[in-house]
Amino acid sequence: MLYWPDIDTVLLDMDGTLLDLHFDTYFWLEHLPLRYAQIHALEPDEARAWLHQRIIAEKGTLNWYCLDYWSRELNVDIVQLKEEIAERIAFRPYVQDFLARLRSENIRAVIVTNAHRGSLNLKIRKTGIDQLVDHVISSHDYQLPKEDPMFWQRLQQEEPFDAERTLLIDDSLPVLESARQYGIRHLLSIVQPDSQQPARSIEQFRSIGHFDELSPSKKI
């Protein structure tokens, strides 16, 4: 479905693409509400309902991904709370093999994530994922989330890529849409970003279940 000789750069999302989104879902929907209620001596169910609303209201904005913002707003140390459940951070299946294959085929692999540096560093420490790719970029460094088509323009300055010969793999449909508007030619989504949630059916973009469906090769 992809013609690999046409591709020389692969931009890769991290959470929900290379890593199981379960860690993040569990953190925001379960662990944070529980610990927030404990820390501020609140009733757990009320705290959960309020927090869910509060979090959803920021969806798609840079705040949504910003640990400093949430630490300040909620008066808790988000990075420290994430550390408490760090054993849940895990690769999605076949990711290491896929990244090794890109490397052996001389296809540039760049992680492009909306994750805040605090969360990114924790995940790098737990998985060593930065060692498996050529470069790691956090959208926080540009103050623009990937959902904003301007992000790709800014990325282009740091990481020159030929949009016609670039593949973006990302579980977020709004991000894929923003990349499409910018002109990135090859786009791929992930049907089950969170291993504990049902698979999605995706109409707008081509998608894969797992990375073993892709076999990068420069040979024709």
Q: Is 20 in the site for Mg ion (CB under 5 A)?
A: no
Distances (CA, A) of 152 to 38, 147, 191: 41, 9, 24
* Cα of 79 vs its chain's centroid, Å: 17
One residue of 7, 9, 10, 16 binding Mg ion per CB under 5 A: 16
Q: Is 13 in the site for Mg ion (CB under 5 A)?
A: yes
- Say if residues 86 and 197 touch (Cβ distance below 8 Å): no
Q: Is 194 in the site for Mg ion (CB under 5 A)?
A: no
Q: Is 24 in the site for Mg ion (CB under 5 A)?
A: no
- Say if residues 104 and 216 touch (Cβ distance below 8 Å): no
- CB nearer to Mg ion: pick between 23 and 70: 23
Element (DSSP H or E) covering residue 204: none
Residue span binding Mg ion (CB under 5 A) among the ranges 44-52, 120-128, 164-172, 177-185 = 164-172
Going by the DSSP 8-state scheme, the letter that residue 5 receives in this structure is: G
**Which residue has its beta carbon closest to Mg ion?**
16
Helix (H, G, I), strand (E, B) or coil at 217: coil
Q: Is 147 in the site for Mg ion (CB under 5 A)?
A: no
Q: Helices 67-74 and 117-127 sit at what angle, rounded to 10 degrees?
A: 110
* Cα of 92 vs its chain's centroid, Å: 12
Q: Is 145 in the site for Mg ion (CB under 5 A)?
A: no
Question: To the nearest whole angstrom, how small is the minimum distance from the Cβ of residue 34 to Mg ion?
Answer: 24
Q: Helices 44-56 and 32-39 sit at what angle, rounded to 10 degrees?
A: 120
Does 194 participate in catalysis according to the annotation? no
Question: To the nearest whole angstrom, how small is the minimum distance from the Cβ of residue 165 to Mg ion?
Answer: 23
One residue of 171, 187, 194, 214 binding Mg ion per CB under 5 A: 171
Q: Is 216 in the site for Mg ion (CB under 5 A)?
A: no
Q: Is 148 in the site for Mg ion (CB under 5 A)?
A: no
Going by the DSSP 8-state scheme, the letter that residue 112 receives in this structure is: E
Token pair listed for 159: 């990481």
Question: To the nearest whole angstrom, how small is the minimum distance from the Cβ of residue 123 to Mg ion?
Answer: 12
Residue span binding Mg ion (CB under 5 A) among the ranges 4-12, 54-62, 67-75, 168-176 = 168-176
Q: Is 33 in the site for Mg ion (CB under 5 A)?
A: no
- The set of catalytic residues is 6
Q: Which residues bind Mg ion (CB under 5 A)?
A: 13, 15-16, 171
